Chain A
C-alpha cells in the first residue's frame, strides 16, 4: 500500500520498464547514443505520515474512519444541530478527549519518525564527484553516485560494491538491523572495477526495486577504451543493503542503485495484514444488539410521545407553552428530531469509553508479557517481545497449535553424532561432551567394527571440510586473547584443538557448523578461506588448499548443496551433500543400498541425516558446467530457474561416499510443554520440512505420539503399496482412516469431559508434502476428500506433516483456520520457512532462535524458548482472555443499567426527553466514576493464580471457544443490567410517591430523584466489580474505593458551588441534601444490596460445581480456603 502510494507520488514512466539503467558516476557511456540522465527518487527516507500542515486534517480523517469514532461524531453533530436534551458537551467532551489523546500519541510517534528520518537523511556521507571526495547529506545521494563508506558505518542506500579496501575484493557486513542476523556476511566486488574508480565508465542494469532482501539480479557493462564492453553479472552478493553495517573492512566504494524509499529496507517496512481477535468480533456483535436496543428505545419513546401528546391538554398545557418556532415546525420533521433526540439521550448505552478502555487494556496489558522475567533467556539476554497487543486475549483461545520442528521443538544446536563411510559406521564415543571429543592424536577415528579404507575416509572428511559455506570468524581475538591462534595453530601440535574449538564458525545453518566440527574431530580442520582458496588441515597437519570454483547454493527445493573445487594437483571435484531423498536418485544404486540402512536407522533415532556424494569432473565437463553456470548467473530474468537447471545437470552421476548423522537436541521442556498444551485441549500439529522418520522420532520424544497412539500414515510410501494409481489409492486410504478414526470412536464432544487418562484410543496422523499436494491439487472432487482429511485430522490428537514446503505449511494452517467453527490457530516457528505460516495463523509466535530474525519480525509475539509457550498460553493467555471478556461484558452491563432508568423516566415525564441525571453525571459516569476500577481489574485480575493455571492445563478448557463472550453469558449480563436498571428506577420511584423525605418536611425534586438513582447505580456497578474481583492488590483497593470516594467528593464539589457561566444550577446542594435524608440512605443501601443479591446467590450456588472441574491440587487449595476466608497467593518465589 505504502509502496503503491509512493509510486503514485513519485510516479514515473520508467516504472513500466522491467529494469533500470544506472550510469556509474553519472558518466555517459560510449555505447549509448545520448546520455539522458534517468530520474530516480532521491535518497530521502520518509517514514513519517504527516507534515505540520496536513497533520490535523489527515489525522482527523483517519481517526474518523473508525466506525466507532464516526458514530460518536454523528451523535455529537446531532446534538449540535437538533435541540437535544443533553448538551453537546456530554458527548463532545469524551469524543474530543479520545480524539485528542489519539492525535497526540500519533503526533508524537510521527515526530519521533521525523526525527529518525532527519537523523538518517541529514547524515553526512562521502560521495566521489569527478574524482573528488565531497561530503554530502545522505538525502542528497542520487542513484548513480559513487559512495564511500567506512567501517562501522551503515550504508546510506542500496549500493553495488565496486571497490573494497580488503585485498580479497570482499567486504563484510552485518544485517542485524535488517533481519537480525548478526553474523558477518561476505559481499564481493564486481570484478574488473577495482581500479580507477575515477575513470570507470560503466552502466548497471538491474531490476526494478523489489522488497525481497535476498534477491537481486543485475548486470554491469564496463566500458574500457572502446573495447567491447565487459559484462559482469550482479547478484545479491554484490549488493550492499541500506541499513546494513560495514564490518572488518576499512572502506568500500559502491554505486547507488536504489535510493530513498526504493531501497530494499524501505520496501520491507510495509504493514502486516491486520489481525483481529475474536473478542473484537464479539464486541461488534454485542454492539449491534445494543444498537438495536437503542433504536427501539428511541422508537418506543417517540411513539409514546406522540400518543401522549394526542390526549387533550397534554401537548401544550397552559403552563408549558411552546415557542413560536416550535409551533411552526413541521410535524414529521418534529417527529424525526424527537427520534434523534431520544437517540442522543440514550446513546450512552454504547460508550465511547469502552473502546478507549479496551485499547488501553490491550496496550498496557501487553507490557506484562515483555516484563515477565520467566520469559527471559539468559543465553540470548532477551525476554519476550510483543509486536502486537491486539491479540493478547486470543492467546487464551488457541485450539490448534502448528509448530515447526527444527529450532522450535528441537534446539537447532547441532551436534555431530556419527557418520557412515562407505557402509561402515563411525561413532565418536564421547560425542556427548564436545570439548574432549578429540582425544587421541594418532587414532582420531574410533571405529566400531571395521574401518573403511583410509582413502574413502579421507575423501569423506575432505568433503565435509569443503562442501559448505562456513566462514571462520576472525574476531574471536577480543575474548580470551586467542586472536592470533588462527594462524598459530599451524605450528602447534597437541594444543591446536583448544583454540580451534574456540574458533567461531559462522554459517547460515547450524548443521554445517556441526559437520565442520565433526570433521575436525576426525582430524580434518577447516582453516578458512584465503581469497578463493579453501584451506584444510589434514590429519598429518598438512595444509591442503583447494580453489573454490563454484558454490551451488543450498535451497529447500533441491535440498542439497554442492561445491566445485580444484585441488592442488589440478583435479576438479564436485562435492555434494544433501537430504537422502535428493541424493539417492543421483548416485549409483549399489552404493545407496549400503548406506540406506544406516540413514534410516539414524533417522528413526531422531538424528538429522545428510548424505555426501562426490564426483570427479573432467576438464571438459567442468568447462561445460562453468559456462552454463556463468551464463545462468548473468541472466536477468528467470535466473533462478536457469540456475536450478544447470545445478541439476551438474549434480548427476555422483558416487555416494557416506552419510552423516547430526543430533538436534530437543528444546528444554519441549515434551512437558507439548503435553501441557494437549492437556489444555489444544491440538498440536507438527509441520516440518524434515523427513518423516526424523520428525516421527521427535514427536515420540516430545510425547506428542505415545506408545498407545495409533498412527495413521498417509505418505508417498503408503500410496505406493497398492500399485494402482496414487490418487485412487489415496482416496481409498482416506476413507479407511476416516472410518477408523471418525466414525468408530465416540464423538469428540464426549471426550472433552472425559478425563485424559482414560483408555481412549488416540490417533496420530502423518502426512507428507507430496501427498498433501496430491490431495489439494488432484481431481475436481477433491473437496470431498479434503473434508475427509480434515475430519480425520481433527479427530487425531497429533498430526505430523513432514516434507513440507513453506507454502504448504501456510496452506495447512489456512485449511484448519477456515474449517467449521473457525478455530483459533497459532503457529510457532523460528526460521524463514515458518514465516508464511506465522503470518497465516491467527497468532504467530516467533522463537528467537538461531535461524535469523525473520520469524521474530513477522510474528505477533516472540519468545526465546519453546517452553515459554506454556506460560504464554496457559498463564497469560488465559488471564488476558478472562480479563478482556469480563471487561467487555461489564461495560455493556454497566451502561445498560445506566441508561435503562433514563429510558423508564420517559414514561413519567411525558416522553419529553428529560434526562434523569445531570449532564455532569452523564458525562462523567463512563469517564471517571466507573472507568478506573474496570481498567485496573482488566490489568491485574488473576481469578486463578498463575501457578495454578500453569500446573492445571485443563483449566484452559474452561475458557475455550470464547466461553465468556458467547450469547448466554451476554444474555446473563444483559438480564442483570435490566434487573438492576428496573430496580434502581422503581425503587426510587416508590420512595418518591411521597417526596417529603427530610425530617423538616421539605420535598425533593427531579434532580434529587436522579441523584439518588445515580448514587445507587455507581455503588452497585462498582461493588459488582468488587465482587467479581478475585485478586485484590492494593491498586484494586485504591481504585475501587477511590472511585467511590471520588464520586462522593465530586458530587459535593459539583453541588457545592454556584458555578459561574452556567445558566442552570441544577444540582446545587442536591447531593448534600440527599445525604441529610435518612430515607435516601436507607433506600440506597436497600437497592444496592437487592441489586447484588442475585449475584451473591449465584456465586454461592455456583460454588459446589467447582471442585469437579478442577484438578485435585486445586481442590486442596479450595479445601483449605474453605476453612480460611482468604487464600494467600504465593507472592514471591
Chain B
C-alpha cells in the first residue's frame, strides 16, 4: 500500500547521496545495548520454594486460627422484623403501608440475649434483596450537590432523573439513593428482671466515614440556618420531612446527617447491613448489653415487601478485624494447611527426583 511505499529508512536514498543505509558507526558497547545489563537470575527450584511453602504454612495457620477465634468471640445477634409472618408483631405495619400516612406505625419485638455483650455494641440494620448496587441506582446521585455546591443544589445533575425535580423545584438531595433513604426508627429497651423497661442510649455519631462526614458531604453555603440554605429546593418525594429537619443537632443535620451519609454509601451486594447506632460501653464493671430480655421498638416506615425484601436488626460487637466473619479464618487455615501439605509432598518428590537426577547426571 501507499502507506508502506515510503518509509523513513528509505528516505535516506533521496536525500543523502552515498546512501542512508550505510552506518559507519560501530555500535556502542554499552551493557544495555548489548543486552548485557547485570541481571539477577533467580531460579525457582524445589529447593528454594520448599522452605517458602513451609514458611507460608507456618505463618498462615496461626493467623487463620487467630482470625477464626476472634471471629468466633464476636457476639452477634440478628432479628428479622420484616413482618411477613402473621405471627410477627410487625405484620400489621408491613401490610398497611402508605407513604403519606401521618400516623406512624410502630411495633415492638421482644428478644432475649443468651450471653452478655461485653464491649461496645454496634447496631446495624440489614436489608435483603435490595439492589443498592443497581447501575441506575448507583449513579442516581449528585456528589457536588452533596458537597454543598449551590449551583448543583439548584440544578441537580441529570443523573438524578427521575428524582431531580419535583414540580419544577429542585430536589435536595436529589437522586434515587437519597429518595429511598432508610427511615425506620429503631429503639432498644432492656427489660429489667423486675419488668421495668430501660431505654438503652444509642449513639448516632461515628457511624459514617470521617472523611465523608467532614469533607465529602457539606451543607450548602456558609449559612448556619439550614432552612434558608435549602430555600428553593424541595424534599425528596418519599421523605416525610425536608433534609434540614433530619436532626435537631446542627452538627448532624442536612447533608451531614450521618444516617444519610451511611445510606449514601451504596452497598456492594443486594444483601447488606449498614451501621445504625453505637451502644457505648458505660464502664468496665457492667457489660454493655447484659444477658436478659429486650424489646426492639420499630417505627415501621420502610416498605420492602413489594420487592420481596427483608429487614433485619443486627447487634454485634467488633474486633480488630471488623464484624463477625469466619471466612477469613477458615480460608487462612485452609491455605496454610494446603501449603504445608504441598510442602511435604514436594519434599518427598524432591527427595526422590532430586536424588535420581543426581545419579543420572553423574554419568554425563
State in angstroms the CA–CA spacing of A987 and B10 once bound together. Answer: 56
B342 within 8 A of A: yes
Q: Which residues of A contact B273 (CB under 8 A)?
A: 994-996, 1003
State in angstroms the CA–CA spacing of A416 and B328 once bound together. Answer: 85
**Inter-subunit contact A1003/B5 (CB<8 Å):** no
State in angstroms the CA–CA spacing of A272 and B9 once bound together. Answer: 13
Chain B: minimal CB distance from A84 (Å): 10
Residue interface bits A1067-1078, CB-to-B below 8 A is 1, else 0? 011001100011
Number of A-B residue pairs with CB-CB distance less than 8 Å in the complex they form: 381
Q: CB within 8 A of B215: which of A272, A989, A997, A1058? A: A1058
A1083 within 8 A of B: yes
B92 within 8 A of A: no
**Inter-subunit contact B46/A1100 (CB<8 Å):** yes
CB-CB under 8 A for A320 and B176, given A995-B267, A1122-B47: yes
**Inter-subunit contact A909/B63 (CB<8 Å):** no
A window 1022-1069: CB within 8 A of B: 1027, 1030-1036, 1058, 1062-1065, 1068-1069
B window 268-311: CB within 8 A of A: 268-270, 272-275, 278, 303, 306-308
Q: Which residues of A contact B353 (CB under 8 A)?
A: 1104
B250 within 8 A of A: no
**Inter-subunit contact B38/A1115 (CB<8 Å):** no
**Inter-subunit contact A178/B13 (CB<8 Å):** yes
Chain B: minimal CB distance from A1028 (Å): 10
B180 within 8 A of A: yes
A-B contact pairs, 26 of them (CB 8 A): A49-B6, A116-B15, A177-B13, A243-B14, A265-B13, A373-B28, A376-B27, A383-B26, A383-B27, A385-B21, A910-B270, A940-B37, A994-B324, A997-B322, A1001-B122, A1001-B278, A1006-B138, A1032-B42, A1036-B39, A1063-B157, A1093-B339, A1096-B49, A1112-B364, A1119-B361, A1131-B31, A1131-B38
Chain A: minimal CB distance from B227 (Å): 26
B87 within 8 A of A: no
What are the 3 closest A-B residue pairs judged by CB atoms, nearest first?
A: A319-B180, A996-B323, A1009-B268
Residue interface bits B328-364, CB-to-A below 8 A is 1, else 0? 1001100100110010001001000110010011001
Q: Which residues of A contact B43 (CB under 8 A)?
A: 1030, 1118, 1121-1122, 1125-1127
State in angstroms the CA–CA spacing of A385 and B20 once bound together. Answer: 11
**Inter-subunit contact A908/B7 (CB<8 Å):** no
A94 within 8 A of B: no
A112 within 8 A of B: yes
A1103 within 8 A of B: yes
A1099 within 8 A of B: yes
B window 6-59: CB within 8 A of A: 6-24, 26-29, 31, 33-50, 52, 56
Chain B: minimal CB distance from A316 (Å): 9
Q: Which residues of A contact B140 (CB under 8 A)?
A: 320
B260 within 8 A of A: no
CB-CB under 8 A for A1003 and B15, given A317-B131, A1031-B39: no
Q: CB within 8 A of B266: which of A113, A367, A1005, A1079? A: A1005
CB-CB under 8 A for A1000 and B306, given A319-B130, A909-B134, A995-B268: no
Chain A: minimal CB distance from B121 (Å): 9
**Inter-subunit contact B133/A270 (CB<8 Å):** no
Residue interface bits A1081-1120, CB-to-B below 8 A is 1, else 0? 0110010011001001101110110010000100100110
A755 within 8 A of B: no
Q: Which residues of A contact B29 (CB under 8 A)?
A: 373
**Inter-subunit contact B325/A991 (CB<8 Å):** yes
CB-CB under 8 A for A1005 and B267, given A317-B306, A1031-B39, A1132-B36: yes
**Among B102-110, B187-195, B241-249, B313-321, which stretch is in contact with chain A?**
B313-321
**Inter-subunit contact B303/A913 (CB<8 Å):** no
Which chain B residue shows the least CB distance to A1103?
A: B45
CB-CB under 8 A for A177 and B19, given A995-B267, A1100-B44: yes
A313 within 8 A of B: yes
B101 within 8 A of A: no
Which chain A residue shows the least CB distance to B9?
A: A387
B142 within 8 A of A: yes
B162 within 8 A of A: yes
**Inter-subunit contact A1001/B275 (CB<8 Å):** yes
Q: Which residues of A contact B152 (CB under 8 A)?
A: 1063
Chain A: minimal CB distance from B27 (Å): 5
A321 within 8 A of B: yes
Q: CB within 8 A of B321: which of A271, A999, A1126? A: A999
Q: Which residues of B contact A914 (CB under 8 A)?
A: 133-135, 138
Chain A: minimal CB distance from B8 (Å): 5
B206 within 8 A of A: yes
Q: Which residues of B contact A318 (CB under 8 A)?
A: 180, 238, 303, 306-307
Q: Which residues of B contact A994 (CB under 8 A)?
A: 273, 322-325
**Inter-subunit contact B18/A177 (CB<8 Å):** yes
A window 944-977: CB within 8 A of B: 945-946
Residue interface bits B157-176, CB-to-A below 8 A is 1, else 0? 10101110000000000001
B207 within 8 A of A: yes
State in angstroms the CA–CA spacing of A1031 and B40 once bound together. Answer: 6
Q: Which residues of B contact A1036 (CB under 8 A)?
A: 39
Chain A: minimal CB distance from B309 (Å): 8
**Inter-subunit contact A1100/B45 (CB<8 Å):** yes
CB-CB under 8 A for A1065 and B216, given A914-B133, A1121-B43: yes
Chain A: minimal CB distance from B332 (Å): 6
Chain B: minimal CB distance from A920 (Å): 15
Q: CB within 8 A of A1103: which of B17, B46, B130? A: B46
B86 within 8 A of A: no
State in angstroms the CA–CA spacing of A1126 and B21 once bound together. Answer: 42
State in angstroms the CA–CA spacing of A1107 and B364 once bound together. Answer: 11
B211 within 8 A of A: yes
**Inter-subunit contact A62/B319 (CB<8 Å):** no
State in angstroms the CA–CA spacing of A320 and B161 once bound together. Answer: 10
Q: Which residues of B contact A1027 (CB under 8 A)?
A: 44
Q: Which residues of A contact B130 (CB under 8 A)?
A: 319
B84 within 8 A of A: no
Q: Which residues of B contact A1082 (CB under 8 A)?
A: 63, 67, 321, 328, 332
**Inter-subunit contact B320/A1078 (CB<8 Å):** yes
A window 131-154: CB within 8 A of B: 154
Q: Which residues of B contact A321 (CB under 8 A)?
A: 162-163, 176
Chain A: minimal CB distance from B145 (Å): 8
B window 233-270: CB within 8 A of A: 238, 262, 265-270
**Inter-subunit contact A381/B323 (CB<8 Å):** no
B196 within 8 A of A: no
State in angstroms the CA–CA spacing of A439 and B24 once bound together. Answer: 38
State in angstroms the CA–CA spacing of A375 and B34 once bound together. Answer: 11
Given contacts A383-B26, A1115-B364, 9 further A-B contacts (CB under 8 A): A120-B15, A321-B176, A368-B33, A382-B22, A942-B39, A995-B323, A1002-B208, A1079-B325, A1126-B40
Q: Which residues of A contact B131 (CB under 8 A)?
A: 314, 317, 320, 909-910, 912
**Inter-subunit contact B5/A313 (CB<8 Å):** no
Q: Which residues of A contact B6 (CB under 8 A)?
A: 2, 47-49, 113, 269, 271
**Inter-subunit contact A1078/B321 (CB<8 Å):** yes
A85 within 8 A of B: yes
State in angstroms the CA–CA spacing of A1125 and B49 once bound together. Answer: 10
**Inter-subunit contact A320/B364 (CB<8 Å):** no
State in angstroms the CA–CA spacing of A382 and B27 once bound together. Answer: 9
State in angstroms the CA–CA spacing of A866 and B135 once bound together. Answer: 64
Q: CB within 8 A of B11: which of A113, A154, A940, A1007? A: A113
Chain B: minimal CB distance from A125 (Å): 14
**Inter-subunit contact A382/B328 (CB<8 Å):** no
CB-CB under 8 A for A1003 and B35, given A180-B19, A320-B176, A996-B122: no
A330 within 8 A of B: no
